[in-house]
Amino acid sequence: MKAPLPYHPKYNQLSAEEEALLSEALSSVEFFVKRSKRISGVNYATRDAHAKSYAYIKAVFEPSHDEFVKEFFPQDLYESLVRLSHANLKISKSDKQLPVFGFALKINIAESKEVNYPLVNFPVFPTDSVKGFLKLFIKINQFFTSSFLLKPFKVLGIISVVSPMFLEMLNLSFFKAVKTWVKNFHHFILARSYYSVGVYRLGNKMIKLKLVPKLFDPEFKVSESIHENVKAYLHQEKLQYDIFYQLAINEKDQPINTLTRDWKNTEFKHFGTLTSLQVVEVRGLDLERLSFNPFVNMEALQPVGKIQHLRKSVYEKSEKMRNNLNS
């Protein structure tokens, strides 16, 4: 086996211009969260992305016997929690939205210690540009926080930032991802594969994660409500997922900061099995106050990469604002 590409902090370093844009983005996060109750029409401050929760699910994670995995997950089983969400910043009362979902996994590894892996149902990112992503993030926040009369101008701003990204999307990985997404457009939220998109540490090694369901009926449906569908399915069945990882071996085939393309020439290895047991029903905001921030992971299991590390500051700003407003 070829030697893994070793982790180095250089993969996370931002330029001075990127740091300045990040500071502007954090101000837009604060502005958005302060107004999020009004924006979504709810009685609590929401997240600045993946605002709508469909369900919280009690689960069990069983690590594989892979030596790299066992180093950090030595137990046979770990209690876990899953948050299913929609990517939109605004909470919609209807569940008839584009199927852009989140599957955030929290693995409880010890008392008050956890590992978080926020995953999404699209394997690649629309841009590798830190500046482009931050500009888009700022423009989207400005759209949601602006008055009705200003929204058309904010849309033009979003279009101006998105347009250059189309060239980055002109690659086989992105076309394949879109084709699969369209093919599975009407699939049940639990019947989808979910991806880390970005890179994580596994000690001194670097990996990407993929979660694949073992589900008998991808179009399971008893209601127009995703929450009710999830609850109904788990009432009659335990749902299992296989979790796989890819190992970075060289930067040519597995570039750390190129998120618009799949990694190639590195096999998928078994990371573990996740068994979803039941929907957790809790009144109030106890579940919504939970964070699935991967930067609370032990250092050896934290995200890697420039765009990944933007999320650290965004998570922290959003969480702090939400907790202050919801206390």
CATH number, position 201: 2.40.180.10
Q: What distance in Å separates the CA atoms of residue 263 and residue 256, rounded to the nearest whole number?
A: 9
Distances in whole angstroms, Cα of residue 11 to Cα of each of 163, 216, 258, 278, 311: 26, 40, 11, 39, 14
Q: What distance in Å separates the CA atoms of residue 117 and residue 120, rounded to the nearest whole number?
A: 10
Q: Does residue 232 lie in a domain region?
A: yes
φ, ψ of residue 284 in degrees (nearest 5): 85, -160
pLDDT means per 10 residues in the chain (327 residues)? 91 95 94 94 92 95 97 96 95 93 95 93 95 94 90 90 90 95 95 96 98 88 93 90 98 96 96 94 80 95 95 90 89
Instruction: Give the angle 174-177-181 at the CA atoms, nearest 5°.
Output: 140
Number of domains in the chain: 1
Q: Does residue 282 lie in a domain region?
A: yes
Q: Does residue 246 lie in a domain region?
A: yes
pLDDT at 289: 86
Q: Give the tokens for residue 114.
A: 């956890």
Q: Of 158, 132, 118, which is closest to residue 312 (Cα–Cα)? A: 118
Q: Does residue 212 lie in a domain region?
A: yes
Q: Give the tokens for residue 9.
A: 């902090």
Q: Does residue 255 lie in a domain region?
A: yes
pLDDT at 148: 86
Q: Does residue 1 lie in a domain region?
A: no
pLDDT at 262: 97
Q: Does residue 21 lie in a domain region?
A: yes
Give the DSSP letter string of 134-194. Answer: HHHHHHHHHHHHS-GGGHHHHHHHHHHHHTTHHHHT-SHHHHHHHHHHHHTTT--GGGS-E
pLDDT at 277: 87
Q: Of 150, 152, 126, which is closest to residue 137 (Cα–Cα)? A: 126
pLDDT at 1: 67
Domain around 302: 9-326
Amino acid (1-letter code) at residue 153: F
Q: Does residue 2 lie in a domain region?
A: no
